């Protein structure tokens, strides 16, 4: 008997020590505890984290101390009591889902029970990499699969090493869990934190909301789509240059080399200066220095760095533009841009400094600094880039990524920084985000319409068919589908509603058509030759170059200004419905500010304040940037479109509108719940019920005042990712 007790005690002590060393490492040199994985998973701070807990609660405590909101699922009957005691001593009130099965094949039931019991955003599963293939396919959630290793024992390091080789680029490796990661559109990255003579290993599997193909995108200068841009910019799809495009590029480059060698004919940017110096001749031996000087002198952007997706989108668009074959660059230039995309070297590019003509000169020059060089190879002239999550000099980032930097030849500097490429990149992202936003706005409008017990005659098909506006007809049809089956609709004696309810199709319909119109302009720009001069080998004369102004960003500037106005209208309409929901004089019997016991509780009062502030901000940002112009370069460039300003302001308006629509969704879900509580037997519409249920998985009913900021953040993430729209499926 005493031997069994001793063995049991030893087992408990071993598990206690093993998990302590696995999850928190003692650093003798620093003389303090170092929390496991703190820097690696900082993105989870403040989020709900579900741990498939197999030990005595150390990871839960570490997560809580790091600022997370852990939820435990204890799969070990032996450890559950011990974990509960330890968590109570640590002052951590964490709900534990009890599971009796310890063997891996039976754990899926525990996982499913936990997800059903708790609204979960992220999953942390320390020892169970075997579960990765099944866990990864859950509503596009980010899944963390983590493990700690001491001394390199066991098969786990080898499995993580194999996972580390999967980057989401090309075909996945043909074995095990990493194959499941790759095929489902996940990218896997492993980070190491030294712990004495061992390491803590963290394998992160991340899936974009936009599914991407495991096959590389082939760019050819003519077929790039907006969806391709999203795949590469946000879902990290790999890229390759098409063979026919490579041949075209090499042909135009051969002509440039001929011009440089013979110093004739005189061609702008090849053997002349730039801008106001267009009439200054440049000698053959100075051609490389001319290109390098152009990049160095024009990299004068200021402001905060552009987001990674915007920079990646610009790199892709620029590579595709050069692949058309009219720019006179070597294929090496395009190959280098593609290698940076595939190995995720992202230049730091400041957001301000472009007039949109001659293209986004300053911004593109900052991009080019990272992958171009000269004979001196000065690190301080290489700009900055992000690689493997760290900010460093461009030269260091390229060295670590194993990508050689290139010395520019004649014409190549001009080909790289001429063109409204960043304007087009931000424009492409904006169009995609506006489309997703509109879908969310329609769902939010239907929820508010139902909560306010609207009159459905406003959506009658006959009414809209006689207007003959395509967008209006389509929005009305979607509204009918969303509220179908509701007992709240038409349950009052009102004849008609206010404009914000009655005119939803008449407002959102034209906005839908506006977004479609802007999409067409942007997609044409994705496949446009936009630098200057351009080379046409079929010209009959010896001079194959044509100088013009394809770099001028007027198409993007006007399109972004139009989109700014349209998205501002989405937010304005949404805020007015939010106001109506919270005003007891307008909300058809709902409590003031959508909270019971108002006065003691403020409910959604400040949610409407915030929405009003954002809508007001949009009114200023929606002022058209394209109507402004300031001459530059000694009046050689005397009419500039301000395309980049328009694109930046458009992105900011979309961000504001995403928050406004998210706030309306939260308020509408609250109002629907209040209706259901007060009206026994009431039934929601087919689509609105699905939307309300999806929101409630993340945000609970507001029965009394609480901090709303985390709820708003979750709602905004659902709007951006389209999770509510996907749940509705209408």
Q: What is the distance between the alpha carbons of residues 122 and 114, in angstroms, rounded to a whole number?
A: 12
Q: How many CB atoms lie within 10 A of CB 358?
A: 28
- Does residue 382 sit in the same domain as residue 494? no
- In this structure, is residue 402 part of a structural domain? yes
Paired residues of 34 in beta bridges: 25
pLDDT at 264: 93
- In this structure, is residue 391 part of a structural domain? yes
pLDDT at 278: 84
- Does residue 471 sit in the same domain as residue 362? no
Kind of pairing, strands 390-393 and 143-149? unpaired
Kind of pairing, strands 48-53 and 122-124? parallel
| DSSP assigned state of 271 | S
Please return the burial class of 601, using the count of CB atoms within 10 Å of its CB with bins 0-12, 13-18 and 19+.
middle
| Catalytic residue positions, numbered | 268
Question: 414: cis peptide before it, omega within 30°?
Answer: no
pLDDT at 215: 82
Q: Would you say 603 and 593 are in contact if contact means Cβ atoms under 8 Å apart?
A: yes
> How many structural domains compose the chain?
3
> Which position has the token pair 């005189």?
266
Nearest to residue 41, comparing CAs of 131, 146, 165?
146
- Does residue 399 sit in the same domain as residue 474? no
- Does residue 200 sit in the same domain as residue 56? yes
Domain final residue pick, 418, 447, 467: 418
- Does residue 45 sit in the same domain as residue 101? yes
- In this structure, is residue 641 part of a structural domain? yes
Q: Which residues contact 324 (CB under 8 A, 6 or more apart)?
A: 221, 222, 245, 248, 527, 529
- Does residue 635 sit in the same domain as residue 585? yes
Q: What is the distance between the alpha carbons of residues 101 and 105, in angstroms, rounded to a whole number?
A: 9
- Does residue 106 sit in the same domain as residue 241? no
- Does residue 8 sit in the same domain as residue 112? yes
pLDDT at 115: 46
pLDDT at 187: 37
Question: 265: cis peptide before it, omega within 30°?
Answer: yes
Q: Would you say 503 and 479 are in contact if contact means Cβ atoms under 8 Å apart?
A: no
Domain final residue pick, 418, 439, 454: 418
Q: Which domain holds residue 92?
A: 2-207
Ranges of residues in the chain with a pLDDT under 70 are 1-214, 730
Nearest to residue 287, comparing CAs of 465, 410, 138?
410
Q: What is the distance between the alpha carbons of residues 343 and 107, in angstroms, rounded to a whole number?
A: 36
- In this structure, is residue 345 part of a structural domain? yes
- Does residue 230 sit in the same domain as residue 201? no
Phi, psi of 207 (to 5 degrees): -125, 125
| DSSP assigned state of 65 | H
- H or E stretch covering 145: strand 143-149
Paired residues of 195 in beta bridges: 198
Q: Would you say 79 and 55 are in contact if contact means Cβ atoms under 8 Å apart?
A: yes
Q: Which CATH number characterizes residue 230's domain?
A: 1.10.275.10
Phi, psi of 137 (to 5 degrees): -105, 55
- In this structure, is residue 405 part of a structural domain? yes
Q: What is the distance between the alpha carbons of residues 278 and 271, in angstroms, rounded to a whole number?
A: 9
pLDDT at 279: 86
- In this structure, is residue 603 part of a structural domain? yes
- In this structure, is residue 212 part of a structural domain? no
Q: Which CATH number characterizes residue 94's domain?
A: 3.40.50.150
Q: Which CATH number characterizes residue 590's domain?
A: 1.20.200.10
pLDDT at 701: 97
Kind of pairing, strands 302-305 and 198-207? unpaired
pLDDT at 445: 98
Helices (runs of H) and strands (runs of E) counted in the chain:
26, 20
| CA atoms lying within 13 Å on the CB side of residue 614 | 30
Q: Would you say 217 and 169 are in contact if contact means Cβ atoms under 8 Å apart?
A: no
- In this structure, is residue 228 part of a structural domain? yes
- Does residue 299 sit in the same domain as residue 228? yes
Assigned token pair, 82: 């011990």
Domain final residue pick, 183, 207, 231: 207
| DSSP assigned state of 276 | G
Q: What is the distance between the alpha carbons of residues 656 and 717, in angstroms, rounded to a whole number?
A: 13
Q: Would you say 70 and 51 are in contact if contact means Cβ atoms under 8 Å apart?
A: yes
- Does residue 319 sit in the same domain as residue 382? yes
634-636-642 Cα angle (round to 5): 95
- Does residue 414 sit in the same domain as residue 432? no
pLDDT at 274: 86
């Amino acid at each position: 008997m005493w031997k069994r007790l001793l063995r049991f005690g030893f087992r408990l002590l071993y598990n206690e020590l093993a998990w302590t060393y696995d999850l928190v490492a003692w650093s003798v040199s620093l003389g303090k505890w170092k929390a496991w994985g703190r820097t690696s998973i900082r993105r989870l701070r403040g989020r709900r984290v579900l741990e498939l807990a197999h030990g005595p609660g150390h990871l839960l405590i570490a997560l809580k101390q790091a600022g997370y909101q852990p939820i435990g699922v204890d799969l070990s009957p032996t450890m559950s009591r011990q974990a509960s005691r330890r968590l109570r001593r640590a002052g951590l009130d964490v709900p534990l889902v009890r599971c009796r099965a310890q063997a891996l094949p039976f754990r899926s039931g525990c996982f499913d029970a936990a997800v059903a019991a708790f609204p979960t955003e992220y999953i942390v599963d320390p020892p169970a990499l075997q579960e990765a293939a099944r866990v990864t396919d859950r509503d596009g959630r980010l899944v963390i699969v983590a493990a700690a290793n001491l001394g390199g024992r066991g098969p786990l390091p080898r499995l993580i090493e194999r996972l580390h080789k999967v980057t989401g680029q090309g075909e996945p490796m043909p074995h095990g869990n990493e194959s499941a990661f790759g095929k489902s559109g996940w990218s896997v990255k492993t980070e190491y934190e030294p712990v004495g003579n061992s390491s803590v290993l963290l394998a992160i599997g991340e899936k974009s909301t936009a599914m991407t193909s495991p096959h590389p995108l082939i760019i050819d200068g003519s077929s790039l789509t907006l969806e391709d841009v999203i795949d590469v910019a946000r879902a990290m799809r790999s890229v390759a240059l098409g063979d026919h495009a490579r041949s075209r590029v090499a042909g135009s480059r051969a002509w440039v080399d001929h011009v440089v060698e013979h110093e004739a004919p005189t061609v702008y940017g090849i053997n002349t200066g730039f801008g106001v110096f267009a009439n200054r001749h440049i000698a053959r031996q100075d051609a490389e220095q001319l290109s390098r000087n152009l990049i160095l002198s024009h990299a004068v952007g200021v402001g905060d760095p552009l987001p990674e997706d915007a920079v990646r989108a610009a790199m892709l668009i620029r590579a595709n533009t050069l692949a058309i074959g009219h720019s006179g660059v070597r294929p090496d230039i395009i190959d280098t841009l593609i290698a940076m995309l595939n190995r995720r070297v992202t230049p730091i590019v400041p957001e301000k400094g472009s007039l949109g003509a001659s293209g986004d000169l300053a911004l593109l020059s900052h991009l080019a600094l990272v992958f171009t060089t000269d004979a001196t190879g000065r690190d301080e002239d290489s700009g900055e880039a992000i690689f493997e999550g760290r900010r460093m000099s461009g030269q260091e980032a390229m060295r670590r990524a194993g990508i050689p930097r290139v010395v520019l030849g004649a014409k190549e500097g001009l080909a790289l920084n001429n063109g409204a490429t960043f304007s087009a990149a931000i424009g492409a992202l904006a169009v995609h985000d506006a489309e997703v936003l509109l879908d969310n706005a329609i769902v939010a409008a239907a929820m508010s319409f139902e909560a306010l017990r609207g009159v459905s005659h406003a959506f009658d098909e006959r009414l809209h068919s006689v207007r003959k506006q395509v967008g209006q007809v389509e929005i009305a049809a979607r509204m009918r589908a969303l509220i179908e089956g509701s007992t709240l609709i038409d349950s009052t004696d009102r004849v008609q509603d206010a404009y914000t309810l009655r005119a939803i199709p008449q407002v959102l319909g034209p906005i839908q058509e506006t977004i479609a119109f802007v999409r067409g302009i942007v997609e044409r720009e994705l496949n446009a030759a936009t630098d200057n001069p351009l080379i046409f080998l079929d010209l009959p004369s010896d001079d194959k170059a044509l100088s013009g102004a394809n770099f001028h960003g007027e198409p993007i500037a006007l399109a972004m200004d139009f989109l700014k106005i349209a998205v501002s209208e989405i937010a304005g309409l949404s805020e007015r419905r939010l106001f109506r929901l919270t005003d007891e004089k307008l909300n058809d019997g709902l409590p003031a500010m959508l909270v019971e016991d108002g006065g003691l509780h403020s409910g959604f009062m400040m949610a409407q304040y915030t929405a009003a502030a954002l809508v007001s901000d949009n009114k200023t940002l929606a002022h058209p940037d394209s109507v402004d112009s300031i001459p530059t370069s000694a009046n050689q460039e005397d009419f500039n479109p301000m395309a980049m300003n328009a694109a930046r302001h458009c992105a900011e308006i979309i961000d504001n509108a995403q928050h406004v629509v998210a706030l309306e969704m939260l308020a509408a879900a609250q109002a629907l719940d209040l209706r259901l509580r007060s009206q026994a037997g009431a039934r929601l519409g087919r689509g609105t019920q699905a939307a309300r249920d999806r929101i409630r998985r993340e945000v609970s009913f507001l029965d009394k005042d609480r901090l709303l900021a985390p709820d708003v953040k979750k709602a905004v993430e659902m709007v951006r990712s389209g999770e509510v729209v996907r749940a509705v499926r209408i």
